[in-house]
Chain A
Amino acid sequence: MEICRHKDALEIRELDPFLAELLRQVPTSTETKDAPAAQQRLFSAPAAESANEFREEWRLYVEPELRKLFQSTAETVRHDLEQLRCTKKPFANCSLRIPLAHADAWLNTLNQARLVIATKYNFSESDLSDHYRSPFGSRRDLALFQVNFYGFLQEFILREMDQTPGA
């Protein structure tokens, strides 16, 4: 896999089918249906339990706005992923172009996905620091690899944004 900045976009080339599939799963990985703990993490409490009134107002007025924001960034990512081009040969490599203008949406959605997966699998800090575990041991190992792969993409996007004046 190659990842580089080209003018006003980030380009991921030579993406093997396995990593391409993980990329395709970014938007669906943010879904929290049947995962109340993940839902709770994305919409965490803004104050202690004693601040009942504030928490209730937050639930009524702020949470719907946050939900809209998260859905909108995931939609942008889903749209970009439609451009994930693969050659017609089976098991061939793919490429993806992410416009820099969508970098914020990608950062947000990758973070949603990482948080949801990590919550579902209850990854500890030491799990998350294990970058050498094979993704093929179990479903849990694959999920850990997915979290770290998305983290790698976040790091790259952040680095490129840092070098973009006004980003």
Chain B
Amino acid sequence: MGPPTRDEAERCPGGVSLEVATPAIETAEKTRAEVDLPWNVVVHNDPVNLMSYVTMVFQRVFGYAREKAEKHMLEVHHNGRSILWSGVREHAELYVQQLHGYLLLATLEHVA
């Protein structure tokens, strides 16, 4: 015997309605994104790459303003690495791929 239908539940006021709302697709996607977070796109220092070149790449790949791109470039230069972006894995992978196209040392890292 299956669960009561909506009609059966309505016909039986003392009974328990088992009607479950169908989850919206948007909700499912959001949940998946939340599970995926955070994946970091990390750029590592390489003394061969010019500072001006690295800044230009950050502006192009991430659409950052020059000031923000320079801030990250200096972080890479002084600290050896900088987290350029955090978010869902698919996007992070694409960013890493673009950065490798510009020959930057970039990695994908999952913060456990």
Contacts and interface: CB of A to CB of B under 8 A. Distances in A.
B70 to A, nearest CB: 13
A46 B50 contact: no
Contacts, number: 63
Interface of B is mostly: mixed
A77 to B, nearest CB: 14
A47 B109 contact: yes
Contacts of A155: 50, 52
Nearest to B55: A158
A50 to B, nearest CB: 10
A111 B107 contact: no
Given A128-B47, A128-B48, A154-B50, A62 B97 contact: yes
B108 interface: yes
Nearest to A129: B47
A42 B109 contact: no
Contacts of A47: 96, 107-109
Contacts of B48: 111, 114-115, 118, 123, 128, 147
Contacts of A62: 97, 100
Interface residues of B, number: 20
Nearest to B89: A54
Given A62-B97, A154-B53, A48 B102 contact: no
Given A42-B103, A46-B107, A158 B52 contact: yes
B103 A112 contact: yes
Interface in A15-53: 42-48, 51
A108 interface: yes
A86 interface: no
Interface of A: 42-48, 51, 54, 62, 65-66, 69, 107-108, 111-112, 114-115, 118, 123-125, 128, 147, 151, 154-155, 158-159, 161-162
5 contacts: A47-B109, A48-B109, A111-B48, A128-B47, A154-B52
Interface of B: 46-50, 52-53, 56, 93, 96-97, 100-103, 105-109
Given A46-B100, A115-B103, A155-B50, 5 more contacts: A47-B96, A62-B100, A111-B103, A128-B47, A158-B56
